[in-house]
Amino acid sequence: MSTTEENEVPALDPSDDDDGEPTIPQVKPREASAPLALPSPWVPGTRFSTYQIESRLAVGGMAEVWRAKINGLQGFEKRIVIKTMLTHLHDRPELADMFINEASLTARISHPNVVDVLDFGQLEGRYFIAMEYVSGLTLRLAHRRMRAAGGRLPLLMVLHVLSDVCEALQHVHELGDADGPLGLIHRDLSPENVIISTSGTAKLLDFGAARATARTEPGRLFVGKYRYAAPERILGRGEDRRSDIYSAGVVLYECLVGRRPFDGSDKEVIRAATSAPFCDPLALEPATPATVAAVVRKATAQRPADRFESARELGAALAVCLAELGASSKERDVTLALSALLDPETDTPAPRRSAGGEPEAVPETIELSYSTTSNIALNEREILEASGPLPCPTPAPDDDTRKVSLPLPPEAFAPPLSDAEGPAVDLFDQGIRLRAEGRFEEALAAWEGALALAPDNRLYDSHVRRLRAQLSVLRGSGKGDDSHRG
């Protein structure tokens, strides 16, 4: 996410990239430049209350994201994510308010297609948000990986994922409290902010740009990404739920065509986005089914009144497309696509290194798919590696920890939303960890357990079959499994 003054055409003229990274505007610099982010005092093994830090997933201009776990009674463990605001930004009230606002708004949301927020607090002088851990890939990485292989994401997968996004948006848009509707909108919908779980379910994340339009006045800053933002938002002419629908239409267009509808410098994107009557995938991808193309055109109409009235209406249109195309279950269609996506034969693009140059005047909000050195976060990299050759076992990390007191929210122990999906995902994630440690037999048992709970999951099935074959070769070579070695 990026911010810039409303109605201001940015002076910065960066060349676009393939990954849709946030637009970085040029704003009036502060008298004294902000210090560079210091290394986090947290290290793997750090403990506070019942939280234990495992590893850093990603870091960005405003925050860093850590994978952690909750340790409960009788061996209870639950993996979570902890997002922390960088300490040197705490003296920037507008940024601290954005971080607090994100925690406050997302804590009200409970939906299977939205990443849950479990806790918010302050520790060692820095704000943190504890969130649900999702084992999966962002839509951005999935799209980029398929493009690197010379293809497109399967149409059925894309329609299922966008249907899940519509479910999430509808819930967000209808959210209210005792005083009435919040008028909540996401304002930063993009492929980076959609993560696809190994169960086949897509979840919306990163509400750092969200705004409760019924409770707050429009700010002086534009937040989001120009390449996905609705024309009325770019021009400062208001925003409502239909602005999110426009962004969903742009994401759908990009997945169908392989590129965003508006590219170039920020000025060029703004000019094109505010003048095009709609985005038509048929112009570049004539093979797009007519009903799907019609959905994209309506979702991305220049005038909000010409768009779908609600995310539910957009989702219903996508459901018609899925039925016309003979879609199977979401679990089977999406996990089949993920299985092909993670096939070791699929070429993986080289990680993009951060560009040097001038520091950002206004830091961007962290997105789970970003890090300082690569657009592939650690959790995504682990899933990719779990589809490749068997790794060498690595020693367990040292358990040097520091303890502080922090209350644990009862929501952290809430049961999974689905009877089978939650345990299956947990077992598959456990298998990824065991495999990385060289405990291959135990990893296979975990994956077989996940597949038994979710027999239609093609991703679990492909990993079970691949690991069985790898172990067969390993046993034939006379090399043992390190599963039971001390």
| Calpha distance 70→407 (Å, rounded) | 12
Q: What is the DSSP letter of 114?
A: B
Estimate the share of the chain in helix, then strand, then coil, as percent rounded to the nearest 5: 40, 15, 45
- Per-residue HEC secondary structure of the chain comes to CEEEECCCCCCCCCCCCCCCCCCCCCCCCCCCCCCCCCCCCCCCCCEECCEEEEEEEEECCCEEEEEEEEECHHHCEEEEEEEEECHHHCCCHHHHHHHHHHHHHHCCCCCCCECCEEEEEEECCEEEEEEECCCEEEHHHHHHHHHHCCCCCCHHHHHHHHHHHHHHHHHHHHCEECCEECCEECCCCCHHHEEEECCCCEEECCCCCCEECCCCCCCCEEEECCCCCCHHHHCCCCCCHHHHHHHHHHHHHHHHHCCCCCCCCHHHHHHHHCCCCCCCHHHCCCCCCHHHHHHHHHHCCCCHHHCCCCHHHHHHHHHHHHHHCCCCCHHHHHHHHHHHHCCCCCCCCCCCCCCCCCCCCCCCCCCCCCCCCCCCCHHHHHHHHCCCCCCCCCCCCCCCCCCCCCCCCHHHHCCCCCCCHHHHHHHHHHHHHHHHCCCHHHHHHHHHHHHHHCCCCHHHHHHHHHHHHHHHHHHHCCCCCHHHCC
Q: For residue 189, what pLDDT is reported?
A: 97
Q: For residue 477, what pLDDT is reported?
A: 75
Determine how β-strand 176-177 pairs with β-strand 2-5.
unpaired
What is the residue extent of each domain of the chain? 136-341, 418-486
Closest listed residue to residue 113, CA positions, set 153, 155, 162: 162
Instruction: Output the CA angle 150-13-37, nearest 5 degrees.
Output: 85
For 138, the token pair is 């962002």
Helix (H) or strand (E) holding 83: strand 77-85
Residues of the chain with pLDDT under 70: 1-41, 344-379, 392-421, 478-486
* Neighbour tally for 190: CB within 10 Å: 28
Q: For residue 344, what pLDDT is reported?
A: 67
| Residue 55: strand, helix, or coil | strand
Q: For residue 8, what pLDDT is reported?
A: 44
| Calpha distance 241→341 (Å, rounded) | 32
For 480, the token pair is 């043992």
For 193, the token pair is 């902010």
CATH number of 136-341: 1.10.510.10
Q: For residue 97, what pLDDT is reported?
A: 84
Q: For residue 93, what pLDDT is reported?
A: 82
Our answer to whether residue 188 is catalytic in this structure is yes
Among candidate residues 16, 116, 164, 188, the one labeled active-site is: 188
| Calpha distance 365→61 (Å, rounded) | 7
Q: For residue 163, what pLDDT is reported?
A: 98
Is the Cβ–Cβ distance between 134 and 195 less than 8 Å? yes
Q: For residue 27, what pLDDT is reported?
A: 34
Closest listed residue to residue 466, CA positions, set 343, 341, 336, 333: 343
CATH 3.40.50.720 for the 418-486 domain, yes or no: no
